Amino acid sequence: MQANIGGIVPLSTVDWHGRSSIVLFFNGCPFRCPYCHNFNLIDQKNSVDLDLVRKRISESKPFISAVVFLGGEPLLQSEEVAEIAKIAKEKDLLVGIHTNGYFPDAVLSLIENGLADKFFVDIKAPFESDFYLKVTGVKADEKFGEKMIANIQKSLKIIDASKVALEVKTTVFPDLVGSEEDIEKIASWLDQNIVNQQKLAYVIQQGNGRNAPGPVLQNSRFFEPAEMDKLAETAGSVLKAPIMTRTEEEGQKEYRF
């Protein structure tokens, strides 16, 4: 079997906070987020034999505790992800999967087969059809936006009902998404719909447009650390789970409200 993989990082300490991991970047994504810093992976094709992936994981094994899947959107290639996750499990490694949540059946299959230990799910905006279409760059009608949201919410509820850990992330830009109202809506949905909040963390990530595909966000200002603190406070006013921010200036910062 081969997978469409855009790159392999043999050792990372930033893609699963608190763990060292090998990171596999999968090509392809159903979204076209205007701030995507991996936009070069969206349409790229590069077939990699899974025997090579196994070799790379074996080489990193002495230094890591996990295999992390990134993209693009890894679950576009759900069968390939499952096969690589099996390799990870054979080597007693944890499996972390970054996803936009659009493929709930793939999420469920991985969980049912014991092939995931943590999901990192992007909630890109409040769950409003037009807003979500705008932030994901998908040119479609409102009905498709509603389908996107339904799929993402289903994925989140599947993960919540399992023993698998969940980190939810929203990337914020002053000119796109990330007002206090936006964050309050997302945090409120999580508080009202995620039952097992003891295994949930919500991360508000400072957007960085420097590597974005278009000039609008490349020239956008960042949220300042003090503004990020305020967004975290807004989330913490409605959500009991741990709240974190990630910024260039301060790295990852955890709050308890």
Strands 200-206 and 165-172: parallel
How far, in Å, CA of 19 to CA of 215, rounded?
34
Coil, strand or helix: which one is 185? helix
Nearest to 176 by CA among 211, 148, 136: 136
Which residue matches tokens 């991985």? Answer: 110
With beta carbons less than 8 A apart as the criterion, state whether 1 and 50 touch: yes
- 39-42's contacts with Cβ under 8 Å and 24+ in sequence apart are 39/212, 39/213, 40/6, 41/6, 41/71, 41/72, 42/72
Counting Cβ atoms within 10 Å, is residue 79 exposed (0-12), middle (13-18) or buried (19+)? exposed
pLDDT tens for each residue of the chain, 257 residues long: 999 999 999 999 999 999 999 999 999 999 999 888 887 878 889 999 999 999 999 999 999 999 999 999 999 999 999 999 999 999 999 999 999 999 999 999 999 999 999 999 999 999 999 999 999 999 988 899 999 999 999 999 999 999 999 999 999 999 899 999 999 999 999 999 999 999 999 999 999 866 666 665 666 788 999 999 999 999 999 999 999 999 999 999 999 87
Helices and strands in the chain, H and E counts? 8, 10
Give the pLDDT of residue 34: 86
* pTM attached to this predicted model: 0.95
For the chain, where are the alpha helices, taking DSSP H only?
50-60, 78-90, 104-112, 129-136, 142-160, 180-193, 215-218, 225-236
Give the pLDDT of residue 14: 93
Distance from the first to the final alpha carbon of the chain: 48
Backbone angles phi, psi at 246, to 5 degrees: -130, 125
Strands 21-26 and 47-49: unpaired
Instruction: Tell me, rounded to whole angstroms, the distance of Cα 139 from its chain centroid.
Output: 21
Give the pLDDT of residue 212: 66
